[in-house]
Chains A and B, each alone.
Chain A
Amino acid sequence: MASNPPLIEVIDLSFRHPGNSHLTIEGVNLTLYPGEIVLIAGATGSGKSTLLNCLAGIAPSHTGGELQGTIVYQGTDISSWSVRQRSQYFCIILQNVETQIFTDRVWEEFVFGLENWNVPADRIPLLTDSALREFGLEQKRNWLIRQLSAGQKQRLLLACLLAIDQPVLLLDEPLAYLDAKSTEQLLQLLRTRADRGQSVLLVEHRLDLVKEICDRAYSFRDGKLREWGEAEMGRGEDGERRKMASLSSLSAYASQNQVITSPSSQQSPILLQTHQLSWGEYPPFPDFQLTTGETILLKGDNGCGKTTLLKLLSGLLKPTTGKLEILGRDVSKRSVVQIAKDVGFVLQNPNHQLFADSVQAEILQPGVPQAVADSLLEQLNLCDRSDRHPQSLSQGQKRRLALGAVLARQPKICLLDEIMVGQDPNSLSLMLNVLRTFTLQGGGLILTSHVPLPPEALNVKLLELNATV
């Protein structure tokens, strides 16, 4: 592999985001050869997405900021190329696949992409057919795209982009929203493509899933890139290592704390109780109870109903059958606003939950005591940003802020959807600390995550939800 000339060479790349005084990435050197899969690992916010954006041409032309250094593709300096120019040679998959899809139907999406490249009209049907076949989408040719799952959409997008057979694939955190089966399909696809001579550059922090297929790996830390040796990759690094360890201990832990079927300790008052809840096509959810100070983790693959259950518990959905009791009252038919007095819900996308024009104001809602607000700001490490506009924060900071705003209203129960997605270790530990304090003060927590949680942070009880067909 090293005998071939590198496809991509990154030479001394540095990038500074607009308005920042420090460099986001510094002095990055990287090579990519044909036929290999290279992983760029690192915590959220460490700079790996920025590197990908620089490679793809998104930074600085779409993000602003200052770029220094060179990017060379097959011997040519492409630093001044637009995203579109690079797209001819790089298949670029971004985090939000919805923003790369533009038509209604599966086959139309192929045609759209090929027509954009001015591919001769008589070749388009052939290319479309062969791509459909290769990616197993033949049966779904006439499907409406909105009927596809997240994994299928990503697959469709890959198929569309690869129809012009680019030599390089750049993927930004492709596994974030995929279930186990889709993940396996994607990784297999990448391996096949690499074996055919294409290069794959994968930015991902789910190390446990990708280390099998990667030929080489780099890791980002504080804006600097380091190549990993074999041993390091197997072990992971720092926080990654902890995650690896947590995986094995979690399964041991899980065997101790089985599905809650029997009533828990009778002494603690029961905050929430479900009876035979069901909704839509999901099978009835297991009955469970939440007592003060308790944390329940809803575990299961994407599509098994974790978010649906949370929505039922918050009142956003009304159960088809069954009963929900909160603080001893039957709330199955109560409105969301009424239930919200006792139940807080931190949504998966914090952008839906930010309403104020400063961090301070977001937490200090009407009726919230100043002391509570100050304490939360402190615990969530947002004090130095208290004047900033919530929308100017990073994703991790926004999540913490949303959590702060929910906890400031002092609910008895707090629901969190997909607590682990897109979290950097600092942000996560701050949030977990705050949540632990919340439970120690008598609150009850219900979390969902399809990614393993570090178990030493919270004393969780597991509730397994079975996958539907």
Chain B
Amino acid sequence: MGNRWQLRDYVFAAFMTIGMVIAVFIVGPFAPPGFQLLAWAPLAGIFLTLGMARLQRRGSVALMILPLALLLGLISPIITLYLAATVLVTELVMFFLGNYRRKTNRLVGNIVFFGSANLGGLLLGAFLIKGARAAPFAKLAQPGILLLLTIVAGAAGALGWWLGELAIQQLRKAGKMDVDL
């Protein structure tokens, strides 16, 4: 597993979180509700991938997303809970696949994270809407549509991964990615 987490890891993760928050601001006004996650995923995926590549250890996603979850809790704690659950799912899956050192693992991490985030969000939304007895909205809760939207979210995550890998290449070329210690 390597060394323990160091201060520079926490700080880097925090700045990746900042990047994802900025992505929220960029995307926010333009995307219709319900599709916000799909629009946010490619941008956020860049930072998630960068963080994975720099931090490398299992738990990197948790380090970046849990603070984000807490921050978004200032809009609604329900978001915190569901993001935390998504983190759990992602890290659980990645636990068996290995750490984030390999490119393909980073890709899987992104797909799993954004896919399950979207799924979780939709299910949560469906649950809340069902509770409010607005049954027609519950049409969305059909397995077919859920699956489709989850795949689309995964694809959006994959796009973010791809852009993130481009950024990693550039950082490596400039010598800013791995500090030679």
Contact = CB atoms under 8 A, between A and B. Distances in A.
Question: Does A touch B (CB under 8 Å) in the complex?
Answer: yes
A425 to B, nearest CB: 26
Nearest to B169: A357
Nearest to A391: B174
A173 B11 CA distance: 25
Contacts of B179: 62-64
Interface in B11-57: none
A205 to B, nearest CB: 26
A206 interface: no
A357 B8 CA distance: 26
Contact of B180 (A65, A389, A391, A392): A65
Nearest to B171: A391
A61 interface: yes
Interface in A39-88: 60-65
Given A19-B175, A391-B176, A64 B170 contact: no
Contacts of B173: 357, 389, 392
B170 A357 contact: yes
A18 interface: yes
B75 interface: no
A392 B176 CA distance: 8
A64 B175 CA distance: 11
B170 A389 contact: yes
A61 B181 contact: yes
A95 B8 CA distance: 19
Nearest to B181: A64
Nearest to A19: B175
Contacts of A390: 174
A64 B174 contact: no
In this complex, the interface size class of chain B, counting residues with CB under 8 Å from chain A, is: under 10
Interface string B98-138: 00000000000000000000000000000000000000000
Contacts of B174: 389-392
In this complex, the interface size class of chain A, counting residues with CB under 8 Å from chain B, is: 10 to 19
Nearest to A392: B174
Contacts of B175: 18-19, 389, 392
Nearest to A82: B7
Contacts of A64: 179-181
A392 B170 CA distance: 10
Nearest to B166: A357
A209 B65 CA distance: 48
A65 B176 CA distance: 14
A430 B8 CA distance: 37
A389 B175 CA distance: 9
A18 B180 contact: yes
Interface in B157-181: 170, 173-176, 179-181
Nearest to B176: A391
A389 B168 CA distance: 13
A291 to B, nearest CB: 41
A236 to B, nearest CB: 35
Contacts of B8: 62
Contacts of B176: 391-392
Interface in A372-391: 389-391
A237 B173 CA distance: 38
Nearest to A84: B7
Contacts of A18: 175, 180
Nearest to A61: B181
Nearest to A63: B179
B180 to A, nearest CB: 4
Interface in A221-242: none
B127 to A, nearest CB: 38
B9 to A, nearest CB: 13
A64 to B, nearest CB: 4
A389 B173 CA distance: 6
A19 B8 CA distance: 21
Nearest to A66: B180
Contacts of A391: 170, 174, 176
A302 to B, nearest CB: 28
A203 to B, nearest CB: 23
- Select the residue from A64, A357, A389 with max chain B CB neighbours within 10 A: A389
Contacts of A61: 181
B71 to A, nearest CB: 16
A168 to B, nearest CB: 23
Interface in A142-175: none
A63 B173 CA distance: 17
A62 to B, nearest CB: 8
Interface string A197-228: 00000000000000000000000000000000
B10 to A, nearest CB: 13
Contacts of A65: 180
Contacts of A60: 181
Interface in B76-100: none
B15 to A, nearest CB: 12
A60 B174 CA distance: 19
Nearest to B170: A357
A60 B180 CA distance: 9
A59 to B, nearest CB: 12
Contacts of B181: 60-61, 64
A38 B173 CA distance: 39
Contacts of A389: 170, 173-175
Interface string A1-34: 0000000000000000011000000000000000
A62 B6 CA distance: 12
A390 B171 CA distance: 11
A408 B173 CA distance: 24
Contacts of B180: 18-19, 64-65
16 contacts: A18-B175, A19-B175, A19-B180, A60-B181, A61-B181, A63-B179, A64-B180, A357-B170, A389-B173, A389-B174, A389-B175, A390-B174, A391-B176, A392-B173, A392-B174, A392-B175
Nearest 3 A/B pairs, CB to CB: A391-B174, A389-B174, A64-B180
Interface of B: 8, 170, 173-176, 179-181
